[in-house]
């Protein structure tokens, strides 16, 4: 045959070499199937023997040197492979190449093992592609938002540049606004070429690609920093305009208030106070002290109200005091009314409108009490152990306050256990307490306070409390008249509890 190895590497024919490879693979397969472990010399000797036997059977002339040369070439190539870098891709590729072995080891058919490995490979590729798409889209969105922000800042700059309030600004602030608008417009202009290239017509999808999105992202970082700087400057300019607008408003408010006070012709003391607050407010406006100007405006507004109320409060106090003197039927009420009235006269003399308002309110409350008629009606009794002391039992008579028409009147009391002021419709008047010597409150059957026992007896004889009026307050009085008595003495109120 023409392609026969002739004593050197170069003379080994292609057919012989391929046959050598087949024999070598057969030997390797057989060795793996039977689990035979040979060292390198034994493997070469066995392979040489089989090569010579195979050549003899096929009629080829092969010398021992030919066989040894073929074996040398084969084994020299076994250890020259350079493995790729390890990673998910190489692992999946290896899985696919070894699908037969994996399938045999795990009992998975060859086609299924191959399909699984290809499916995983496809999934990883799809995930990688999705991540890249997401990163690219994020950059596109960043660019598009940057363009929107730039346009918004441009609109704000136009408003700032054309604001009618600018004509009222002092020269220093006018120069500051001009500097802000000029600098900001220049910075926005520098970014136009970037947006023209990557965000034409408001969309970056076409210009930002897989190939350039990382570079665009870097450029956008610089653009964004510029936009942030412009926004800060525009905000500063708007603050100047806003402050001036508020100063104008305060100035107009001060002018309007002082004019109203002047027209009303109040007492001289009010007029002097008003003029003083107005002058201080105008000075603060001229000095661009907005907070101070607003405070003076509030004071001027209060003076205007005081001037208007002063005369009315004085008249109201006189009328209320005359009413109190006409209906009061006890000296305590007359004395209380006289005391409040004298406080009011002192406030009038001092032109102290705040104290005058308090006096007017107090006289009004006193008049209301004097005109009110009510009765405290007994509706039952109760005994309880206080939360803060389980060694005593307190006894209460439960009351409701009814007006002359029988309607329940809410009452403000002081909760004797918490000290808090609460409004109730049913309250308990403590009439006594006993100390527990032993046993429990439920088992106590010893002596009870007389008032409690009296009401209890009244109810037990027929199921109704016949003597149900605890106290009454007629018109013209501010103090209650006790009706319920024990041994001829009125029942003391030792504390109150809300029910």
By the 8 A CB rule, do 431 and 395 touch? yes
With respect to residue 66, please indicate whether it lies within any of the assigned structural domains: yes
Residue 466 lies in a domain: yes
Instruction: Give the per-residue pLDDT at 1.
Output: 41
- Name the stretches of the chain with pLDDT < 70: 1-40, 55, 58-60, 74-125, 439
Q: Looking at the structure, do residues 478 and 457 belong to the same domain, yes or no?
A: yes
CA distance 208 to 142: 11
Kind and range of the H or E element at 451?
Answer: helix 450-462
Residues 465 and 493 in one domain: yes
Q: Are residues 360 and 378 located together in one domain of the fold?
A: no
**The pLDDT value given to residue 9:** 44
Residues in CB range of 498: below 8 A, 6 or more apart:
413, 415, 422, 424, 426, 427, 428
What would the DSSP string read from start to end of 3-27? S---SSGGG--HHHHHHHHHHHHHH
Task: Give 490: exposed, middle or buried? Use CB within 10 Å, 0-12, 13-18, 19+.
Answer: middle
Same-domain pairing of 416 and 478: yes
Residue 167 lies in a domain: no
**What local confidence, expressed as pLDDT, does residue 69 receive?**
77
Same domain, yes or no: 468 and 393 = yes
- Tokens 């149900």 found at: 468
Same domain, 331 and 358: yes
Domain boundary pick from 78, 105, 123: 78
Q: Which residues of 382-398 are buried (b: 16+ CB within 10 A; e: fewer)?
A: ebebbeeeeeebbbbbb
Q: Which domain holds residue 363?
A: 311-371
Pair 348, 439 in one domain? no
Show which of 324, 349, 371 is a domain's final residue.
371
Whether residue 442 sits in one domain with residue 384: yes
pLDDT digits 0-9 by tens, 236-284: 999 999 999 999 999 999 999 999 999 999 999 999 999 999 999 999 9
CA–CA separation, 280 vs 250, rounded Å? 12
Phi and psi dihedrals of 422, rounded to 5? -135, 150
382 in a structural domain: yes
CA–CA separation, 118 vs 96, rounded Å?
7
Q: What is the largest CA-CA distance in the chain?
A: 152
| Alpha-carbon gap, residue 281 to 309, rounded angstroms | 23
Q: How far apart are the first and last CA of the chain?
A: 124
Give the C-alpha separation, 180 to 235, whole Å. 10
**Dihedral angle sign, alpha carbons of residues 46, 49, 55, 56:** negative
Residue 206 lies in a domain: no
Per the domain annotation, does 391 fall within a domain?
yes
Half-sphere exposure of 198 (CA within 13 A, CB side): 28
Residue 180 lies in a domain: no
Q: Does any domain span residue 232?
A: no
- pLDDT for the residue numbered 379: 97
Clarify whether residues 386 and 464 are in a common domain.
yes
Q: Choose the final residue of a domain: 78, 94, 121.
A: 78
Q: Name 221's Cβ contacts closer than 8 Å, sequence gap at least 6.
A: none
Say how many C-beta atoms besides its own lie within 10 A of residue 96's C-beta: 16
Q: Are residue 322 and residue 431 in the same domain, yes or no? A: no
Q: What is the C-alpha separation between 223 and 188, in angstroms, rounded?
A: 9
Counting the structural domains of the chain, the total is 3
452 shares a domain with 365: no
Instruction: Tell me: do 494 and 388 sit in the same domain.
Output: yes
**Residue of 50, 60, 64 lying closest to 16 (CA atoms):** 60
């Amino acid at each position: 045959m023409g392609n026969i190895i002739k004593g050197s590497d170069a003379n080994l024919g292609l057919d012989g070499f391929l046959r050598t490879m087949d024999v070598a693979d057969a030997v390797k397969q057989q060795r793996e199937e039977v689990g035979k472990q040979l060292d390198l010399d034994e493997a070469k000797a066995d392979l040489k023997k089989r090569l010579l036997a195979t050549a003899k059977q096929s009629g080829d002339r092969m010398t021992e040197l030919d066989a040894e040369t073929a074996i040398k070439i084969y084994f020299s190539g076994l250890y020259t492979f350079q493995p790729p870098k390890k990673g998910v891709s190489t692992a999946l590729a290896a899985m696919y190449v070894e699908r037969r072995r994996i399938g045999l080891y795990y009992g998975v058919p060859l086609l299924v093992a191959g399909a699984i490995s290809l499916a995983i490979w496809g999934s990883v590729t799809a995930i990688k592609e999705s991540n890249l798409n997401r990163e690219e889209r994020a950059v596109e969105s960043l660019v598009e938002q940057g363009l929107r922000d730039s346009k918004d800042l441009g609109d704000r700059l136009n408003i700032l540049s054309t604001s009618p309030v600018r004509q009222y600004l002092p020269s220093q602030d006018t120069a500051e606004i001009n500097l802000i608008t000029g600098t900001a417009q220049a910075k926005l202009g520098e970014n136009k070429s970037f947006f023209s290239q990557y965000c034409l017509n408001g969309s970056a999808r076409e210009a930002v690609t897989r190939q350039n999105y990382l570079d665009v992202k870097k450029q956008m970082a610089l653009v964004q920093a510029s936009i942030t700087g412009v926004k800060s400057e525009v905000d500063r300019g708007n603050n100047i305009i806003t402050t001036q607008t508020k100063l104008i408003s305060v100035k107009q408010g001060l002018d309007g208030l002082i004019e109203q006070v002047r027209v009303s012709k109040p007492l001289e003391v009010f007029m002097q106070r008003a003029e003083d607050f107005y002058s201080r407010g105008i000075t603060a406006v001229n000095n661009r002290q907005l907070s101070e100007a607003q405070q003076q405006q509030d004071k001027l507004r209060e003076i205007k109200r005081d001037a208007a109320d002063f005369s009315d409060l004085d008249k109201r106090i006189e009328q209320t005091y005359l009413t109190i003197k006409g209906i009061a039927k006890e000296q305590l009420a007359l004395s209380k009314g006289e005391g409040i009235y004298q406080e009011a006269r002192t406030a009038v003399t001092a032109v102290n409108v705040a104290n005058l308002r308090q006096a007017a309110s107090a006289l009004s409350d006193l008049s209301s009490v004097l005109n009110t008629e009510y009765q405290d009606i007994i509706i039952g009794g109760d005994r309880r152990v206080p939360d803060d002391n389980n060694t005593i039992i307190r006894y209460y008579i439960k009351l409701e306050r009814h007006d002359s028409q029988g309607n329940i009147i809410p009452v403000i009391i002081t909760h004797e256990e918490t000290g808090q002021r609460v409004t109730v419709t049913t309250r308990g008047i403590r009439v006594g307490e006993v100390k527990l010597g032993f046993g429990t409150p439920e088992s106590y059957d010893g002596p009870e306070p007389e008032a409690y026992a009296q009401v209890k007896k009244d109810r037990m004889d027929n199921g109704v409390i016949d003597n149900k009026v605890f106290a009454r307050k007629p018109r013209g009085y501010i103090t209650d008249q006790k009706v319920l008595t024990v041994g001829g003495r009125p029942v003391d109120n030792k504390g109150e509890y809300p029910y």
